[in-house]
Structure 1
């Protein structure tokens, strides 16, 4: 019997099924979708991730059956997905899960011949084979994508995960990530647990407002005055902004996403804006302070029990408050 609400399109699990998942477009969002990706992998079926090119490195340790880089142009992305489908074993049925809400992501899978599940949004309900209504109550992004994933697995009559995601992310690091982080620390003369990692940049605006906490310079100097090493490793495009925001911090070379996530776990403490770094740290289970001033902690805060959230939408925390919280964590947390 088909699962409730599944209709004639529901199908039993079979070895000739492959799962295609369109991951979100932002670093932090990919981190927050990891419980959903794990749920798909737990089915034992081949999982092909469709995501921005940088996500390949972040997901290097995951046993994916394939990775299709997405450019954001729906025609090019459709061609890329269709090409991979043509190379798949004959008779393998594709099923798609769309985590982004966009119409373009639905068009890519539809015209690549992949029936898909996704949230009803952006006028795309008629394109989706298994549309899902968004929950009535506000959910954190981790919970929202996990809810959608459980919906899809139920419609496909595949094994469903637990009703709620675990209360922490658990990203898988590759050996290459560990090695790259170790080299960066060695070259800088740093030891694991012997430095505070700051991330004093955040790209873009949120509703026209800058997402960067204004106290990084003051905080860095206060920590240094207490004999603490403060380091940062921004991507190449953000290095100048990082220098201007925290000019006395030790500047490490840019790292790949996986190596940077590993670096957050090696730090005694990570202090960052509500940005991709916050979610990379949460995924790597780093100790961190995430600073809020223009975004909502309940929706996009780090999904971690090791994170301290300071500030709120419309009110940045004071530098003295952040310094006090940082010193308390450093005094009570063992070295990594």
Structure 2
């Protein structure tokens, strides 16, 4: 007789507020799931679209403190009703490093764990060490391992899922613009904000796209809502696909012949879905923040020197049939 497997235990997981970090946390999330937890994710509204193919529940985190506490208390009430052991164990895991993430959980009565530091350890059931010299994906992976009390090596690739429906929508969108799957260059030239006061945008991107277009390459850009006007002005030679949902964007990245991207969220999405990615890197610490995966080529001359247009075009020519 085959024994019935116990039902997965609900675990509230607070995601970080950035697309790239959320992608880098996927291996850790899967590890938690593999060890018997049902993930109840709390994050930004865009996380639902980004993670749609993964099948996890995403609760959109409210902006106001009182609403955030109310949401977590309601989740706690629901999960206590279905799992008598919910309040007797660690029942929340925090990927953000911020004090506020621990405070929200404490005020809601949760027994949270997360990285120690930022004066917040006393708010949590247990604080785990944040080890030096780690890639961000490894930081999240090791936090999950510490939570589970195990040791394991992180995977070489993220294997972010793309659904059949997302892929069909992406193929239809490409076909409507006369773009051939597997042969176009998808560019991700925008980098929202700065990190440690360092600009993450490759200054030669506009010239690079002009030269690609002149050489007869199909170039596609998928701007975010705040990037549409910039895409019109800076990249008039690229086919612009506006208003694309993040899950369909994942499929477009996977269908591209090659993706060329700054240090930005879509670069991590591209690496996550296994796209062939040329990651253009400047002054930011690549050892900690570079996209993760076997399909990633890091384009960088030195610690603070950008690759030339000729170098990147040569890499594109090698990547495309």
Q: Give yes or no for TM over 0.5.
A: yes
CA deviation after TM superposition for structure 1 residue 92, in Å: 4.8
| 8 Å CA contact retained: 1:206, 1:294 | no
User: Is it true that 1:322 corresponds to 2:315 in the alignment?
Assistant: no
Tell me the residue number matched to 2:25.
Answer: 33
Q: 1:193 aligned to 156, 170, 182, which one?
A: 182
SS of residue paired to 1:209: coil
User: Is it true that 1:93 corresponds to 2:86 in the alignment?
Assistant: yes
Alignment of 1:53-202 (within 5 A): 53-64=45-56, 66-88=57-79, 89-90=81-82, 91-93=84-86, 95-135=91-131, 137-154=132-149, 160=150, 163-202=152-191
Which segments of 5 or more consecutive residues in structure 2 lack a partner in the other structure?
none
User: Is it true that 1:23 corresponds to 2:15 in the alignment?
Assistant: yes
Q: 1:293 to 1:119 in 2, by over 3 A?
A: same
| 8 Å CA contact retained: 2:69, 2:107 | yes
CA deviation after TM superposition for structure 1 residue 44, in Å: 2.9
| 8 Å CA contact retained: 1:74, 1:104 | no
Runs of 4+ residues deviating >4 angstroms: 13-16
CA deviation after TM superposition for structure 1 residue 243, in Å: 2.4
CA deviation after TM superposition for structure 1 residue 206, in Å: 2.2
CA deviation after TM superposition for structure 1 residue 281, in Å: 0.2
| 8 Å CA contact retained: 2:116, 2:127 | yes
Distance 2:129 2:36 in 1: 27
Tell me the residue number matched to 2:286.
Answer: 297
Distance 1:173 1:184 in 2: 16
Distance 1:17 1:280 in 2: 28
Distance 1:235 1:293 in 2: 22
CA deviation after TM superposition for structure 1 residue 229, in Å: 0.6
SS of residue paired to 1:308: strand
| 8 Å CA contact retained: 1:16, 1:93 | no
Distance 2:233 2:201 in 1: 12
CA deviation after TM superposition for structure 1 residue 255, in Å: 0.8
Distance 2:285 2:37 in 1: 36
1:123-144 Cα offsets, whole Å, 9 max, x none, are 0010111211122x30000000
Which segments of 5 or more consecutive residues in structure 1 lack a partner in the other structure?
1-12, 155-159, 332-336
| 8 Å CA contact retained: 2:47, 2:58 | no
| 8 Å CA contact retained: 1:217, 1:247 | no
1:168-205 Cα offsets, whole Å, 9 max, x none, are 11111233322321221122111211211011111112
CA deviation after TM superposition for structure 1 residue 117, in Å: 1.2
Deviates more, 1:275-284 or 1:287-296: 287-296
Distance 1:149 1:286 in 2: 26
SS of residue paired to 2:54: coil
| 8 Å CA contact retained: 1:96, 1:115 | yes
SS of residue paired to 1:206: coil
SS of residue paired to 1:80: helix
1:218-258 Cα offsets, whole Å, 9 max, x none, are 21122222221111111121111122332211112221111
